[in-house]
Amino acid sequence: MMANEQTITTIPSSYDVFISFFGSDTRLSFTGNLFNALRRKRFKTFIDNDGIKSGDQIVASSFKALEGSKIAIVVFSKRYAASTYCLDELVKILECRNKINQQVLPIFYEVDPFEVRDQTGTYGKSFDAHEYRFGKDYVKLQNWKLALSEVAVLKGWHFQNRYMLSIFYSKKSNLHD
């Protein structure tokens, strides 16, 4: 094998879909509805408060569920980047995309994709705060920024004011394949 080739590992799937989101922005609205719709269609779906047993560590359980998922849906909302937990989860999502060929589907909910990609608007303000808090941890900050930029250019959906403005994910896929 050549040095620059990536090895894709197969991990048995525990979930069809893993949803990454900032809880107080969308849990009781968009993400809650998405989760319920996926469950009604019989997709085994992980959401942070549903698949974690009492006494388990949230990060460890969440990352284990992520590694065992076929698809990761990232719901970018106004305050997603304010959460270091969400940003760490996003970095892990990209690791899974590269290591196990996990499909990543971004949803831009009441935020423009360019804000996520370029870290402007609320994303820029969040990074100003992160730079103040983690200024000496340049690698962590860069990993978060690169993860946002990489996912923001993937094909996905853009919802504004609860209406879908554009669908730019055109590939039809069967989630159970």
- Cβ partners under 8 Å of residue 25, min gap 6: 77, 78, 79, 80, 109
Q: How far is Cα 19 from Cα 73, in angstroms, rounded to an integer?
A: 5
Q: 18 with 52: CB under 8 angstroms?
A: no
Name 106's bridge partners: 74
Active-site choice (5, 67, 89, 131): 89
Structural tokens at position 157: 């959906």
Report the alpha-carbon distance of residue 173 to residue 168 in Å, rounded: 14
Whether 115 is catalytic is no
51 CA to centre of own chain: 16
Q: Quick one: three-class SS letters along 45-107?
A: EECCCCCCCCCCCHHHHHHHHHHCEEEEEEEECCCHHHCHHHHHHHHHHHHHHHHHCCEEEEE
Angstrom distance (rounded) from CA 135 to CA 150: 22
Residues annotated as part of the active site: 89
